[in-house]
Amino acid sequence: MDYRIEHDSMGEVKVPADKYWGAQTQRSLNNFKIGEEKMPKEIIKAFAVLKEASARANHNLGKLDAKRLSLISAVCKDILDGKLDDNFPLVVWQTGSGTQSNMNVNEVIAGKGNELAGETILHPNDHVNMSQSSNDTFPTAMHIAAVMAIEDSLLPSIDLLINTFDRLIKENEGIIKTGRTHLQDATPIKFSQEISGWKSSLEKDKEMISLSLKPLKSLALGGTAVGTGLNAPTGFDEEVAKEVSKLTNKQFITAENKFHALTSKDELVFAHGALKALAGDLMKIANDIRWLSSGPRCGLGEIYIPENEPGSSIMPGKVNPTQCEAVTMVAVQVMANDVAVGMAASQGNFELNVFMPVCIYNFLQSVRLLSDVMKSFNDNCVCGIKANKQTMDENLEKSLMLVTALNPYIGYENAAKTAKKAYAENISLRQACTELGFLTEEKFDEIFKPEEMV
């Protein structure tokens, strides 16, 4: 491999000749050979947004000339287009402020920009990092990446699943089945009502996630090293927030208190709590669907789901609810990530949180997994759900909890005696009730109407 010599304030470093990064990126590569988890691509793209926004703000405030602005903007566009992906090799397990990834971006923009200019005109610190510090750029990148991932990927995936459940509600409106509580038979329910519970859960989750977006749209940029804004021109914070908003087509504002913005990660904890709520509901929905589809002969078997692939390497003909299993595994991972996000956020010391890379790594993984699994679950399972009306009717007819309809006529205790006799003797509720002398057959038939119990 060919190398070139780069230098920083600590001296010279050998850097691969075909890469645009500089000495500080290389030092991080050499010193943090830990794990395989790379800084998320969403963070790199967010950095590209904030670096161009900063260059524009600096230019608007008379700090940066038009030529350098043009070069920085051109390279940031290349980063957003994925043309420089192999220039961001740093791992999550680095400095807790994310300084090395900030410098990685600065160095790549400067290196590529200088190549475009045909001269050394951009300095990673003096120009690309002008009016900034890693301490305000990394938390800004975290918020930009979080907002874009939620709005552009997660919310559309939730809507996709909500719309499918809405269709299933309409298709199954007239079907009545036995309800279940504590995994035991309960009073009847419409299948459409059961589905409506799933749909409403997702709607509530979307509402809570949407509420978490406003705090995330507050940016630390302009606080620089400790929140005082040292070396940033007056008005830079507001100007750069406007430029980020233009570049993303999303309404960002400058953080009201930069000391809070640099050290606290409460906005991400709040937002991830809403993600955990979504994960919990998805766990419940997926479990309901795989229970209802269990069988095909020895389970509940009340619904059919698509058969996508063979389920066993030894049992021929076996098909498993694999999409449901993927959803539940993602839910477990998101719940585990919530612990990491919360713990990381608790580690703010004085003027800076130094657990930021691990915090945003877990946050973005949760958003990515939830977005992907909901699309997969929708397309490969939920869209194909069909009611097994015959089994639903048979189970409803056998359910002893239909006896609840008799409470107003014979009382709770007599209704309980009726149910217990029917179960013990394996006879119908009608027969048990009339043999006990609680109702005549005519009166029983008059008041016992399962379709009116929903």
Q: Which of 7, 200, 312, 346 is catalytic?
A: 312
What DSSP string runs through 353-399? ES-HHHHHHHHHHHHHHHHHHHHHHHHHTGGG-EE-HHHHHHHHHH-
Q: Which of 157, 182, 293, 371 is catalytic?
A: 182
57's tokens: 């703000």
Between the CA atoms of 183, 187, 191 and 196, what dihedral angle is there, to the nearest 10 degrees? -80
Q: Phi and psi (nearest 5°) for 32? A: -125, 70
Q: For residues 71 and 30, give the distance between their C-alpha atoms in angstroms, rounded to a whole number.
A: 29
The yes-or-no answer on residue 312 being catalytic is yes
The yes-or-no answer on residue 131 being catalytic is no
Which amino acid type is present at position 233? P
**CA-derived radius of gyration, the chain:** 30
At 304 the three-state DSSP class reads strand
Residue 321, class by beta-carbon neighbours within 10 Å (0-12 exposed, 13-18 middle, 19+ buried)?
A: buried
Compute the half-sphere exposure of residue 144: CA atoms within 13 Å on the CB side of its CA.
34
Q: Which residues, in sequence order, are CB contacts of 69 under 8 Å at separation 6+?
A: 55, 56, 58, 59
Residues forming a β-bridge with 303: 387
Which amino acid type is present at position 310? P
401's tokens: 């909890």
Q: Phi and psi (nearest 5°) for 146? A: -65, -45
Residue 451, class by beta-carbon neighbours within 10 Å (0-12 exposed, 13-18 middle, 19+ buried)?
A: exposed
Q: Please list the active-site residues.
A: 182, 312
